[in-house]
Amino acid sequence: MKTPEMCLQVIADDTLLLQKAAELLVQEVLGGKLPSMEDELEVVSGREVMAITRDETPLSVCTFTLGHRAHQDGRTFTYLSLLATAPEERGHGYARSLIEHLTRVSREWGDEYIQVVPSHNSSEYYRRLGFARTVPGVMALEIST
């Protein structure tokens, strides 16, 4: 079996990866209920995607945007939109690797933390990744400089 590899791409630059990532995200996050690929693509369009792939097939993906500015205190942050791992690939640390890499990318961009609005059943997982609740329904991972 080929070793998984990490790739970071602007999502619009690779249509095939975009399609595969969208399929995985829709399957995992939305239960595969969207009716057409055009709708699925809207889930991730306009964001960056980072994926761990094997033979160009995403095993774990996240979508995010860099450089948001918080209204409360003016701090900049990365917004983590979605994080998903194919069910048969869980337990290998792929999502953790994506978050670690995203932390480095965010730090290089100048962001101070990563923010996520977790689904009700994923809060504990994000907590294990180092995220802490900031306000109701929102978690953040501080980025050390």
Neighbouring residues of 43: CB distance < 8 A, sequence distance ≥ 6: 22, 25, 26, 29, 30, 34, 82
Q: Which domains does the chain have, with CATH numbers?
A: 5-142 (3.40.630.30)
The 10s digit of each residue's pLDDT in 68-106 is 888 778 889 999 988 888 888 889 998 999 999 999 989
Instruction: List strands edge to edge, sheet with 76-85.
Output: 5-10, 48-54, 57-69, 76-85, 113-116, 138-142, 132-135
The 10s digit of each residue's pLDDT in 8-28 is 443 434 555 556 666 665 565
pLDDT band at 48 (very low <50, low <70, confident <90, very high): confident
Type of residue numbered 54: R
Q: What is the pTM of this model?
A: 0.73
Predicted confidence at residue 114, as pLDDT, reads: 96
Cβ–Cβ under 8 Å, residues 88 and 112: no
What is the token pair recorded at 51? 């994926």
